[in-house]
Amino acid sequence: MSDNALGLVIAAVVAWIVIGALGLVRPRELRFVSHLLFPLGAAVGLALAVVAFFALGQLPQSTVLPLGLPDLPFHLRLDSLSAFFLLLLGAVGAAISVFAAGYFRSGEGAAPGLLCFEYHLFLAAMALVLVADDAYLFMVSWEAMALSSFFLVTTDHRIPEIRQAGFLYLLIAHVGAIAILLCFGVLQGGSGDYTFGSMRSMVLTGAWPSVAFFLALFGFGAKAGLLPMHVWLPEAHPAAPSPVSALMSGVMLKTAIYGFLRVTFDLLQGQLWWWGVIALVLGLATALFGVIFACVQSDMKRLLAYSSIENIGIIVAGIGLTILFKSYGKTLLAAITLTAVLYHALNHAFFKSLLFLATGSVLHATHERSLGKLGGLIHRMPWVAWLALVGTLAIAGLPPLNGFVSEWLLLQAFLFTPSLPQSFVNMLVPLAAGALVLAVALSAYVMVKFYGIIFLGRPRESNLAYAKDAGWFERAALSFLALGCVVLGIFPVNVIAMLDPVNAMLIGSTALHADSGNWLLLTPINADRASYSPLIVLIGIVAVVLLTAQVVHRLYHGRVRRAPPWDCGFPLQTPRMQDTAEGFGQPIREVFDAVFRIERQLPSPFDTAPKYAVKVGDHLWHWLYLPLARGADALGRLVGMIQQGRISVYLTYSFFTLLALLFFVR
Partner 1 sequence: MATLPLYAQFINLFAAFLLLLAFAMLAQRRVLSLINLFAMQGFALAVSTAIVAYGTHQSHLYWSAGLTLVLKVLLLPWLLHRLIRQLDVKWDVEGLINIPTTMLVGIVLVVFSFNLALPIAQLSHTVTRATLGIAMASVMLSFLMMITRRKAIPQVVGFLAMENGLFFAATSATYGMPMVVELGIALDVLVGMIILGVFFFQIREQFDSLDLKHLETLKENE
Nearer to partner 1, 105 or 630 (CB): 630
* Angle of the 160-187 helix axis to the 232-239 helix axis, nearest 10: 130
Q: Render 491-533 in DSSP notation, one character per residue.
A: -HHHHHHHHHHHHHHHTSS-SS-TT---TT-B-SS-TTT--B-
- How many angstroms separate the most distant Cα atoms in the chain? 109
Alpha-carbon distance 302 to 304, whole Å?
A: 5
Q: Render 407-444 in DSSP notation, one character per residue.
A: HHHHHHHHHTGGGSS-HHHHHHHHHHHHHHHHHHHHHH
579 closest CA partner among 461, 457, 462, 465: 457
* Contact call for residue 160 and partner 1 (CB under 8 A): no
Residue 106 CB coordination number (10 Å) = 10
Q: How many residues does the chain have?
A: 666
Contact with partner 1 (CB under 8 A) among 635, 652, 657, 660: 652
Shortest distance (Å) from residue 653 CB to partner 1? 10
Task: Tell me which H or E stretch contains 18.
Answer: helix 5-25
* Contact call for residue 663 and partner 1 (CB under 8 A): yes
Contact with partner 1 (CB under 8 A) among 14, 59, 178, 651: 651
Among the residue ranges 161-169, 232-240, 252-260, 653-661, the one whose residues contact partner 1 (CB under 8 A): 653-661
Alpha-carbon distance 384 to 357, whole Å?
A: 9
Contact 343, 499 (CB under 8 A): yes
Shortest distance (Å) from residue 643 CB to partner 1? 6
* Contact call for residue 661 and partner 1 (CB under 8 A): no
Nearer to partner 1, 601 or 648 (CB): 648
Count of chain residues binding partner 1 (CB under 8 A)? 16
Nearer to partner 1, 424 or 650 (CB): 650
Among the residue ranges 167-175, 347-355, 494-502, 635-643, the one whose residues contact partner 1 (CB under 8 A): 635-643
Contact 9, 48 (CB under 8 A): yes
Shortest distance (Å) from residue 645 CB to partner 1? 3
Among the residue ranges 38-46, 464-472, 532-540, 657-665, the one whose residues contact partner 1 (CB under 8 A): 657-665
Nearer to partner 1, 568 or 639 (CB): 639
Alpha-carbon distance 420 to 399, whole Å?
A: 30
Contact 485, 401 (CB under 8 A): yes
Among the residue ranges 57-65, 358-366, 431-439, 641-649, the one whose residues contact partner 1 (CB under 8 A): 641-649
* Contact call for residue 644 and partner 1 (CB under 8 A): yes
Shortest distance (Å) from residue 637 CB to partner 1? 7
Q: Render 375-404 in DSSP notation, one character per residue.
A: --HHHH-HHHHHHHHHHHHHHTT-TTSHHH
Alpha-carbon distance 197 to 603, whole Å?
A: 64
Nearer to partner 1, 549 or 658 (CB): 658
Range 592-621 burial, b when 16+ CB lie within 10 A, else e: beebbeeeeeeeeeeeeeeeeebebebebe
Residue 456 CB coordination number (10 Å) = 16
Q: Render 336-380 in DSSP notation, one character per residue.
A: HHHHHHHHHHHHHHHHHHHHHHHHHHHHHHHS--BGGG---HHHH
Q: With 0-12 CB in 10 A as exposed, 13-18 as middle and 19+ as buried, what is 203? A: exposed
Shortest distance (Å) from residue 644 CB to partner 1? 7
Shortest distance (Å) from residue 630 CB to partner 1? 15
Shortest distance (Å) from residue 662 CB to partner 1? 6
Contact with partner 1 (CB under 8 A) among 67, 159, 545, 659: 659
Among the residue ranges 175-183, 471-479, 485-493, 645-653, the one whose residues contact partner 1 (CB under 8 A): 645-653
Residue 522 CB coordination number (10 Å) = 23
Among the residue ranges 26-34, 115-123, 134-142, 648-656, the one whose residues contact partner 1 (CB under 8 A): 648-656
Range 411-420 burial, b when 16+ CB lie within 10 A, else e: bbbbebbeeb
Among the residue ranges 40-48, 77-85, 430-438, 640-648, the one whose residues contact partner 1 (CB under 8 A): 640-648
Nearer to partner 1, 566 or 663 (CB): 663
60 closest CA partner among 74, 87, 78: 78
Contact with partner 1 (CB under 8 A) among 568, 590, 640, 642: 640
Alpha-carbon distance 425 to 431, whole Å?
A: 10
Shortest distance (Å) from residue 628 CB to partner 1? 21
Cα angle, residue 174 at apex, residues 170 and 177 outer, rounded to 5°:
140
Shortest distance (Å) from residue 632 CB to partner 1? 16
Nearer to partner 1, 203 or 641 (CB): 641
- CA dist 76 → 80, 142, 220 (Å): 13, 14, 20
Nearer to partner 1, 569 or 645 (CB): 645
Nearer to partner 1, 606 or 664 (CB): 664
Residue 579 CB coordination number (10 Å) = 13
241 closest CA partner among 100, 372, 391: 100
Shortest distance (Å) from residue 658 CB to partner 1? 7
Shortest distance (Å) from residue 646 CB to partner 1? 6
Q: One-letter amino acid identity for 138?
A: F
Shortest distance (Å) from residue 465 CB to partner 1? 54
Shortest distance (Å) from residue 656 CB to partner 1? 10
* Contact call for residue 514 and partner 1 (CB under 8 A): no
Among the residue ranges 95-103, 435-443, 512-520, 646-654, the one whose residues contact partner 1 (CB under 8 A): 646-654
Among the residue ranges 27-35, 224-232, 369-377, 638-646, the one whose residues contact partner 1 (CB under 8 A): 638-646
Contact with partner 1 (CB under 8 A) among 607, 608, 637, 638: 637
* Contact call for residue 643 and partner 1 (CB under 8 A): yes
* Contact call for residue 666 and partner 1 (CB under 8 A): yes
Contact 316, 332 (CB under 8 A): no
* Contact call for residue 638 and partner 1 (CB under 8 A): no
Alpha-carbon distance 389 to 450, whole Å?
A: 10
* Contact call for residue 658 and partner 1 (CB under 8 A): yes
Nearer to partner 1, 329 or 645 (CB): 645
* Contact call for residue 568 and partner 1 (CB under 8 A): no
* Contact call for residue 635 and partner 1 (CB under 8 A): no
* Contact call for residue 655 and partner 1 (CB under 8 A): yes
Shortest distance (Å) from residue 640 CB to partner 1? 7
* Contact call for residue 646 and partner 1 (CB under 8 A): yes
Query: Would you call the peptide bond into 382 cis, given omega within 30 degrees of 0 as the criterion?
Result: no
The binding site for partner 1 (CB under 8 A) comprises: 637, 640, 643-648, 651-652, 655, 658-659, 662-663, 666
